[in-house]
Structure 1
């Protein structure tokens, strides 16, 4: 490869670049007019796509080429290099593409390409149910509705959500939105105009109370019955509440919904002393957000290290030190024994002043409707590899679904946003008869101040954790093993390594 000292902002792809400057599977960044563009080479093929991930704006130049996809280093969204279409969540929109031309040993990026017309409508019609009902308003539900339309389905789609708000970016609630650094306009996943244009009927504040799979009917809380051709259950999870004296006091709160978050933010206008109960994802992310707003934060946790059950002691200790450097005080090995109007009493005998208590002690899958309908239940709704439940024409996705995971060889249930979105998309395709096996590698990220932990794979238990790098300088990788089997990889400051681990797990299936 020839040496090229041209910076990305100076490199004008319309004037051409030497072909030899682009290595196989290499990525070159440049400009087309005012737009940042990536040139990607895959063998003899060359592709030009937008340089920024459509999810949170991650730099795709720092990502990974896998097959004919490019993957975002931040949250593992994947895009097709040929069409720009989204291949993997969490991105909702595809990338812009340009036509590429070679001449005289140089590569030129020409005009932008229009999205190819859908060739899927005929297939969707051939297998389509008369209508699709989606119960839920979160990641899986929204992804399923959008995928049905992208796949050419033209029938009625109704999304029945108990939430008062249309689908929104739930991960942001415990991160930037609670911290006050995110514009509220960022939260909705789609605008009302989008749903209207796509003919997706979003019914908010609607509780489905019964499901009758035999007659393909649901009943709403008001008594109205609705027929469906196929149904996706994506009812999500509900936060576990504290069960101690004083837990029902009005300043004891949970964080699950947008309404929960707005109520928390409103209280923060008048309080300063906060106690967070639980040191899992929600608890610690909430603690970081509360500190960003200037509140005093104490965290009560049963274990010795935050997130130890998922991340192990080394990364747990890293997160503890990170939070302590921002002023968070931890109370390890303790339970809450009582809550009063202005304090939290601990099993250790300590008493903490508290004007606000946030319980982040986990969630339970919302399976009451599935139980009422007689579906198979095993710590979640049991589904097959196609995400179909034990009832015909009924699928499940997201926090409630327990599926046979090809990577671990066991049934698992995962409570993370990206998994829910990917399951919603696969379930939608299977509703249309495509028989797509759900075999995605689980992925999640957690953000604390300016430090992110990316985790790919699934390790409910392990007998060894190998640490490469130094957690204390926030540059490391943890690999979780059972025997000789690598189960999962968590990275800090090594986004590309996490992407490579995901691709390696995929290649094993």
Structure 2
């Protein structure tokens, strides 16, 4: 049987009865130092630990979020959960288990002892800053093979299947050259792989790169994520017109824009992040948007105006309430962009950040239901109308609890991760509903903007 990462610790606020070899126990505070609902970052053997007191009991877990390493001491403690201050990941302070995404790993938990009014925490050499989710101890599923498409939802789906003793074949298919990557980083930073390549070998997950998916109705299937929407105006096939979809796209955009003139089309998350990234690298950056302000539909005009001013101070020029009608070239390469307003902008590179298209074309000959945008219709169990076909993330239209089960299509990393786990549990006939609140973030010129919920505009 192939297992996921084993349980490396116990942590329920109880005192250890002894001390094993190579373990270290340290006195971290007085029992009276914390009141219920309070946290403190402490150290044992130069290792930082988050100490928490709830209902009169102490517990201790890793001090940093398993996603991007944010200090959890700056987060919010509600009941038995601590929420990351950066991106909203949520952890159980008794067990360290991750209970809301983003992030793939749980926190280590440590044994706590209270004696003579002093609080002691015991750690061991195997207790790193992260650990895998504990195995659930369920019976092996009767599924045969599962095919999933590479993305954060698919990775969580595959991991959850293995965590729950699924022994069958798992095939992960991607048209990219890499395993699943952290796509929000494509427009922000490096270090993209969600899991190292040997992870897939260790847990017997087959990885097929540079492959296209076909529909096979008898195979349990997890649908692929969306693809970037390309420009369709005259000249959009010229050399120098780019989209941001893959690691290769990100490299090409960087290499082609350094010291050159760039035009970014689309003033929402991808477009604004790309413009922010290029502001100090390109010779000039122009932004074209069809609204009055960036983020107008998602975050509102006030936030849009503020972010627009931030980028303008970094020499980004905005053409708002406008659009591209033609891209002109010379010798097959981009030379200038013609806008609806009549403005002509000289440029070497055009980057489109104008949304995504659901990757549902391969279902055309199937009976899987899609909506008017070609998003795959699923229920709260991540099921399509066809048995054994599941969907998650930005390719789907699903009922959102906080919108009274109104169907929505949301392309958030955090929500896709939750979808992936719920889909896997329902493949195993667990009957678990999705009940997650959307959370999203963006980083512009080093400033972070975060929001939770869903804007119906």
Q: Measure, in 2, the Cα distance between the counterparts of 1:314 and 1:42.
A: 39
Q: Does 2:217 match 1:204?
A: no
Q: What is the match of residue 297 of structure 2?
A: 309
> Closer, same or farther in 2 for the Cα pair 1:352/1:41, shift >3 Å?
same
Q: What's the secondary structure of 2:41's corresponding residue?
A: strand
Q: What is the match of residue 20 of structure 2?
A: none
Alpha-carbon shift at residue 420 of structure 1 (Å):
0.8
Q: What is the match of residue 254 of structure 1?
A: 243
Q: What's the secondary structure of 1:15's corresponding residue?
A: strand
Q: What is the match of residue 265 of structure 1?
A: 254
Q: What is the match of residue 169 of structure 1?
A: 182
Unaligned stretches of 5+ residues in structure 2: 1-23, 330-334
Alpha-carbon shift at residue 159 of structure 1 (Å):
0.8
> CA deviation digits over 1:404-446, x for unaligned, max 9?
1121020111011111111011111111111110010011111
Q: Measure, in 2, the Cα distance between the counterparts of 1:232 and 1:51.
A: 34
Unaligned stretches of 5+ residues in structure 1: 1-11, 177-181, 217-227, 462-509
Q: Measure, in 2, the Cα distance between the counterparts of 1:99 and 1:267.
A: 53
Q: 1:398 aligns with which of 393, 397, 416?
A: 393
Q: What is the match of residue 357 of structure 1?
A: 350
The 5-angstrom pairing of residues 73-92 of structure 1 reads: 73-92=85-104
Q: 1:45 aligns with which of 47, 57, 66?
A: 57
> CA deviation digits over 1:204-232, x for unaligned, max 9?
111113x132xx0xxxxxxxxxxx3x221
Q: What is the match of residue 298 of structure 1?
A: 286
The 5-angstrom pairing of residues 222-233 of structure 1 reads: 228=219, 230-233=220-223
Q: Does 2:145 match 1:131?
A: yes
Q: 1:280 aligns with which of 243, 268, 273?
A: 268
Q: What's the secondary structure of 2:297's corresponding residue?
A: helix
Q: Measure, in 2, the Cα distance between the counterparts of 1:44 and 1:90.
A: 30
Alpha-carbon shift at residue 111 of structure 1 (Å):
3.0
Alpha-carbon shift at residue 197 of structure 1 (Å):
0.5
> CA deviation digits over 1:22-71, x for unaligned, max 9?
12121111101111111011112321111111111111001122332222
Q: Measure, in 1, the Cα distance between the counterparts of 2:446 and 2:313.
A: 13
Q: Measure, in 1, the Cα distance between the counterparts of 2:121 and 2:145.
A: 43
Q: Does 2:158 match 1:145?
A: yes
Q: What is the match of residue 370 of structure 2?
A: 377
Q: 2:341 aligns with which of 344, 348, 356?
A: 348
Q: Measure, in 1, the Cα distance between the counterparts of 2:28 and 2:107.
A: 21
> CA deviation digits over 1:43-102, x for unaligned, max 9?
123211111111111110011223322221101112222222222221112212211011
Q: 2:230 aligns with which of 223, 235, 241?
A: 241
Q: Measure, in 2, the Cα distance between the counterparts of 1:111 and 1:253.
A: 50
Q: Does 2:66 match 1:59?
A: no
Instruction: Point out the structure with the larger helix share.
Output: 1
Alpha-carbon shift at residue 117 of structure 1 (Å):
9.8
Q: Does 2:429 match 1:433?
A: yes
Q: What is the match of residue 19 of structure 1?
A: 31
Q: What's the secondary structure of 1:242's corresponding residue?
A: coil
Give the TM-score normalised by structure 2: 0.89
Q: How many residues are paired up?
A: 422
| Contact 2:91–2:99 (CA under 8 A) maintained in structure 1 | yes
| Contact 1:37–1:50 (CA under 8 A) maintained in structure 2 | yes
Q: Does 2:102 match 1:107?
A: no
| Contact 1:370–1:381 (CA under 8 A) maintained in structure 2 | no
Cα RMSD after superposing both structures: 1.9
| Contact 1:53–1:59 (CA under 8 A) maintained in structure 2 | yes
Q: What is the match of residue 17 of structure 2?
A: none
Q: 1:335 aligns with which of 323, 327, 330?
A: 323
| Contact 2:133–2:163 (CA under 8 A) maintained in structure 1 | no
| Contact 2:98–2:105 (CA under 8 A) maintained in structure 1 | yes
Alpha-carbon shift at residue 294 of structure 1 (Å):
4.1
Q: Measure, in 1, the Cα distance between the counterparts of 2:415 and 2:184.
A: 13
Q: Measure, in 2, the Cα distance between the counterparts of 1:76 and 1:445.
A: 9
Q: What's the secondary structure of 2:184's corresponding residue?
A: helix
Q: What's the secondary structure of 1:310's corresponding residue?
A: coil
| Contact 2:28–2:42 (CA under 8 A) maintained in structure 1 | no
| Contact 1:238–1:256 (CA under 8 A) maintained in structure 2 | yes
